[in-house]
Amino acid sequence: MRIGLVGFAGSGKTTVFNLLTGLKVPVGFGGEVRMGTVRVPDQRIDRLSRVFSPRKTTYAEIVFSDVPGERGAEKGGLSRKALQQIRDQDALCLVLRDFDNPSLERAPNPLADLDAFHTECVLADLEIVERKLDRGRKEGASARELERFERMKALLDDGIPIRSLPAAELDRATLKGFGLLTDRPLLVALNRNEDRASLPMPEVLARRIAELGAAGLVLSASVEAEIAALGPADQAAFLADLGLTESALARFIRTAYGLLDLISFFTVGEDEVRAWTITRGTRAQQAAGKIHSDLERGFIRAEVIPYEVFNQYGSEQAVKDAGRLRVEGKDYGLADGDIMHVRFNV
Ligand SMILES: Nc1nc2c(ncn2[C@@H]2O[C@H](COP(=O)(O)OP(=O)(O)OP(=O)(O)O)[C@@H](O)[C@H]2O)c(=O)[nH]1
Ligand SMILES: [Mg+2]
């Protein structure tokens, strides 16, 4: 999964990037687009790895891109560089400044920044959708295709993001190549001074975030980056001082998985214990294709053990002996934490 950090110059994107990735990219203005990979912590994988002692243990990963803002840009922080970078992300994280930045004149106004960013995305999308409509009409596109873009244009004209379309209509797969921005899942990180780290998101901002079909979380990036660099024992104590119970990375991942409706399933064995990220509701055969296309093509059945059941019995054999191993067909919708073994024949 790829998540792009975007927003106004000086909102703390690079600080958030360092916080999440554990890297130490210099903060301050500008810089290059950077990428950093984060392993999604998962205690279930830790445990499975202890049980199977595999040659390799693979966690789910998120790749973050830190996209510098443009100084003085009133355009929602979207530079040309940012626009290019945004277009191939699976989700966007808008970092909103809610702290006094001594090198910026403007007092923090996260609600105004959110709206500026949104407006900029809407305008960029309108341009694309109108171009599509023009060309579609000239080249005799199907009525259905035209209708689809008309529907999008109507939404955008009203300032409504394309992501508000019902899932069936949204159909992300077919939108992929168009480079739209408001169809992208959006996470809004309110970046605050440490003295306000544990206060909830202000009501008006929370409401606006919900209206935009986005998910919000509160961070205090500078101090949380310092805390993230400490050992696990110290982390808990320092977080508690801020009134927090969970690390920023854990909060971020939970929010992102919730927003994107993602779950994990696992494969286990002596070779590898591995987490796979899928959208909730993905069927067994399709999920098998994530592992290898042969497994999807030659899919026969899936043997499934929910993680909790495995944990209760302690080994695959014990699960089998207790009659708790399930055999599922291709249309089985995987649940979070399912351990899956695919039977296939090609
Ligand atoms: N007080 C406070 N300062 C912060 C916080 N987060 C970032 N800063 C400071 O704000 C300044 C800008 O932070 P950056 O992370 O470089 O901001 P940016 O969004 O990456 O900026 P550009 O790359 O220019 O777009 C730095 O001096 C940070 O130390 C925070 O949570 N609280
Ligand atoms: Mg930066």
Cα angle 185, 187, 192 (rounded to 5 degrees) comes to 170
- Res. 9 pLDDT band, cuts 50 70 90: confident
Kindly compute the dihedral angle of the four CA atoms of residues 38, 46, 222, 36, in this order, to the nearest 10 degrees: -10
Query: Which residue bears the tokens 């169809």?
Result: 183
pTM of the model: 0.90
Retrieve residue 273's tokens: 């214990």
| Residue 165 scores a pLDDT above 60 | yes
Q: CB neighbours of 219 closer than 8 A, spacing ≥ 6? A: 16, 19, 189, 190, 191, 192, 197, 248, 251, 252
Does ligand 1 have an atom closer than 6 angstroms to the CB of 300? Answer: no
- Res. 218 pLDDT band, cuts 50 70 90: very high
204/114 Cα distance (integer angstroms): 12
* pLDDT number for residue 300: 97
Q: Compute and round to an integer the Cα radius of gyration of the chain.
A: 22
| Residue 68 scores a pLDDT above 90 | no
- Res. 76 pLDDT band, cuts 50 70 90: low
- Res. 173 pLDDT band, cuts 50 70 90: confident
Closest-CA residue, ligand 1 atom 12, reads: 10
Q: How far is the CA of 208 from the centre of ligand 2 (A)?
A: 25
Does ligand 1 have an atom closer than 6 angstroms to the CB of 65? Answer: no
Q: How far is the CA of 204 from the centre of ligand 2 (A)?
A: 27
Q: Are the beta carbons of 175 and 165 closer than 8 angstroms? A: no
123/61 Cα distance (integer angstroms): 32
Which of 14, 70, 191, 217 has the most ligand 1 atoms within 8 A of CB, as the residue to mutate? 14
Q: How far is the CA of 47 from the centre of ligand 2 (A)?
A: 37
* pLDDT number for residue 269: 95
* pLDDT number for residue 28: 79
Does ligand 1 have an atom closer than 6 angstroms to the CB of 41? Answer: no
- Of the spans 21-30, 119-128, 208-217, which averages the highest pLDDT? 208-217
Q: How far is the CA of 12 from the centre of ligand 1 (A)?
A: 3
Element (H, E) at 196: none
- What's the rounded mean pLDDT across residues 59-69? 91
C-alpha distance from residue 272 to each of 78, 253, 269 (Å): 41, 23, 6
* pLDDT number for residue 106: 86
User: pLDDT for 245-288, tens place per residue?
Assistant: 999 999 999 999 999 999 999 999 999 999 999 999 999 999 99
Q: Are the beta carbons of 3 and 92 closer than 8 angstroms? A: yes
Does ligand 1 have an atom closer than 6 angstroms to the CB of 68? Answer: yes
Q: Cβ–Cβ contacts within 10 Å for residue 107, how many?
A: 8
Retrieve residue 246's tokens: 């969970």
Retrieve residue 195's tokens: 């003295």
Q: What percent of the chain has pLDDT over 70?
A: 96
Q: Are the beta carbons of 133 and 157 closer than 8 angstroms? A: no
Ion ligand 2: residues, CB within 5 A, are: 13-14, 68
Closest-CA residue, ligand 1 atom 7, reads: 12
Q: CB neighbours of 211 closer than 8 A, spacing ≥ 6? A: none
Q: How far is the CA of 11 from the centre of ligand 1 (A)?
A: 5
Atom of ligand 1 nearest to the CA of 101: 10
> How do 262-267 and 272-279 pair as beta strands?
antiparallel
How much is the mean pLDDT over the chain?
92
DSSP, collapsed to helix, strand or coil, labels residue 25 as: coil
* pLDDT number for residue 69: 78
| Residue 77 scores a pLDDT above 70 | no
* pLDDT number for residue 71: 64
Retrieve residue 84's tokens: 């290019």
